[in-house]
Amino acid sequence: MITVTNCGHDSHHPKPCDIEHTDGLPDYLLLLVKTDAWFFVDGKRCFTQPNMCILFDKRTYIHYGRSISNYNDDWIHFDMNDDTPAQLDLKKIPLNQPVYPADFRRLSLYAQLLTLEFHSPSVHHIQIIDRLMRSLLWSLDADVSSFHQNPQVHRHFVRFSRLRTRLYNNPSDSWSAQKAARSTGLSVSYFQHLYKNFFGCPFQQDIINARLEQAKFYLSNSSMSIRNLSEFCGYENELHFMRQFKKFEGMTPSEFRRNHN
């Protein structure tokens, strides 16, 4: 179980700040820093950029601040009991070192939800706090593991991730690599290279995947006709939908429906 002992979201310091914990803290401290700041790392003062994350270990010297006003961060003090699953291993996340997550905004949203839950406890307060904190740490671990070694690629990931979410939410839209590349400000060839690198399949294939996933859901959970379903999922005609479905699923839409109802 992960216990949050204190937390805050979007905290501002209206004046220059200098925060020091000489003997460290009895729990872990996670900071999501939204402004430039300075931190002592390995005994040296270093300057960090906005949207930086740092996880301090227990009983570790902590010293940070900002020389001008309006330092801004999310902060979470937490601890883990002995029964916390082994797969949630903080050793995978660099401790006491600044890191720049691919999707900082998502981590900050988790911090916001944690803060709301922390100050407005529900019936399942303890369980919700535990699950939100695990989700935050797992997301941070995934960001660091995937992109810490390749910052040039790292900077594109958030835009690509949001683009893919839009694709799977709206597969019937008129999608093309040319339009998608323009939305990211990249050439078509570089866009396609990065997309496959990030998600393991070409963009054009993922359009098909998104449409077929939507089709399978409605074949299993609705009585929509095959003709209407093909149009609903973005196909220009029923025959093309049926051919593509059989090619990738190994059966016709009607056979799929019979097998999954």
DSSP state of 16: -
d(Cα 82, Cα 219) in Å, to the nearest integer?
45
> pLDDT of 192-239, one tens digit each?
999 998 888 999 999 999 999 999 999 999 999 999 999 999 999 999
What pLDDT does 128 receive?
95
How far is residue 55 CA from its own chain's centroid?
Answer: 17
**C-alpha separations of 33 from 100, 203, 261 in Å:** 10, 34, 50
CB-based burial, 206-239: b 16+ in 10 Å, e otherwise: bbbbbbbebbbebbeeeebebeebbebbbbeebe
d(Cα 172, Cα 233) in Å, to the nearest integer?
5
Mean pLDDT, the chain, rounded, equals 90
Residues 113, 132: contact at Cβ < 8 Å? yes
H helices present in the chain, as ranges: 104-119, 125-147, 151-169, 177-184, 188-199, 203-221, 226-232, 238-249, 253-259
DSSP state of 175: -
Strands lying side by side in the sheet with 17-21: 17-21, 62-66, 37-41, 44-48
Residues 136, 53: contact at Cβ < 8 Å? no
Strands lying side by side in the sheet with 2-13: 2-13, 71-80, 28-33, 52-56
What pLDDT does 152 receive?
52
Q: Which band of pLDDT confidence, cut at 50, 70 and 90, is reported for residue 87?
A: very low
45 pLDDT exceeds 90?
yes
Going by C-alpha positions, the residue among 140, 117, 142, 116 that lies closest to residue 127 is 117
Q: Which band of pLDDT confidence, cut at 50, 70 and 90, is reported for residue 105?
A: confident
The whole-number average pLDDT for the span 38-50 is 94
> pLDDT of 169-189, one tens digit each?
999 999 999 999 999 899 999
Partners of residue 73 on adjacent β-strands: 11, 33
d(Cα 203, Cα 51) in Å, to the nearest integer?
29
Q: What is the CA radius of gyration of the chain?
A: 23
Residues above pLDDT 70, as percent of the chain? 92
Partners of residue 95 on adjacent β-strands: 55
User: Minimum mean pLDDT among 20-29, 84-93, 103-112, 118-127: which range?
Assistant: 84-93
Angle between helices 104-119 and 125-147 (to 10 degrees): 170
DSSP state of 90: G
**C-alpha separations of 3 from 28, 56, 91, 125, 132 in Å:** 10, 16, 18, 11, 11
